Amino acid sequence: MRFVATDLPGVLIVEPDVHRDARGFFLETFRQDKYQAGGIPGPFVQDNQSLSAGGTVRGLHLQVGARPQGKLIRVLEGAIYDVAVDVRRGSPTFGRWVAAWLSSEDFRQIYVPPGFAHGFAVTSPSAQVEYKCTDVYDPQGEIGIKWSDPAIGVEWPVHLFPGPPLLSARDINNPPLAALMDRLPLY
């Protein structure tokens, strides 16, 4: 198992060991001691799963305040372009983003620590995504940032599907990062 650093400190790509043979495959999708040794502290207290149609963009989301969340994301079916954005005020990498292609074929995961916004674009006909969270959902601490905020400049692969991306009503109306400065976590 490999833990690969990205350009944003704390955001890690996990490349698990996959054991394949004529029967199929086997892998560990999480093991606390190995993940902690690799730089993913946990603990994880909630698991979530979503199903999204191709061309969907979910995000950018984060949870702040009394219950900030870190997320360990993996794809159960399909493929996504997964994005993390550093939104910690005062961080040397504030407003910067990294992305990783994740799929059910490569079994890669990404860890997005507290203080980072998260989102993904579905690049297959559909995708099931599962993510572990370091704290429980708290609606009072939830923040949404406009997925296409030019100040962040995420290069979403929305060109892979005809027409505009599929977005929730909430994500369509999320404000840009600059409008949320008073709610963002400190570095």
**Active site residue ranges:** 61, 131
Q: Do 138 and 64 touch, CB atoms closer than 8 A?
A: no
Distance CA 49, CA 11 (A): 20
Query: In this structure, which amino acid lies at residue 28?
Result: E
Q: Is 186 exposed, middle or buried (0-12, 13-18, 19+ CB in 10 A)?
A: exposed
Residue 125: its H or E element: none
